[in-house]
Structure 1
Amino acid sequence: MAISKDSFEQVGCIHTSQGIEFDYVGVIIDDDMFYENNKLKTDFNKRSKNDSSVKGLKSKKIKPLEAQFIGDKIIKNTYKTLMTRAMKSFYIYCVDKELG
């Protein structure tokens, strides 16, 4: 549980942290967000298979550019939400060395 006194060493996701502020937050930016050609980029195809927030973006009903636009917004919003949960400090680890 996110608010228990033992939660310091627990891992959660955006769904367990929305609407809750913590003293400290650690965020791991996975390979769905990276730095390439002097630009911040995202790729919803690299999102965890367990993440339902991008489910359906590979559908034939959604055009590839639209799917990329929606996926980009979802990814950026997820990391923004996680990073704004900390009241004192937050720590970031980036899988992509160029981003970190």
Structure 2
Amino acid sequence: MKKLITANDIREAHARGELAMSVVLRASIITPEAREVADLLGFTITECDESIPVTASVPASASADKTESQRIRETIIAQLPEGQFTESLVAQLMEKVMK
């Protein structure tokens, strides 16, 4: 059975400090929203044809290295109802904060 990679999977991996995910094309389905979220977060999804683990993560450097925009984004998401927001809403709120 194929593994579905959703936007929430990308958000959760990013929240754990991961910067990338490697997926086997034959064993995975990546939703368009997951790709969009990955682009917005600067998260890399690597697709391969080999039989390697579905997720092989690359840990991020220390949280002290987080950019200001990442901290602002995390603060905004923390204040929104869990699962009740879209990436476009977060982007709009970030734009307002950055002004």
Q: TM-score range by the shorter chain?
A: under 0.3
More strand by share: 1
More helix by share: 2
Bigger RCO of structures 1 and 2 (CA < 8 A, at least 6 apart):
1
TM-score if structure 2 supplies the norm length?
0.26
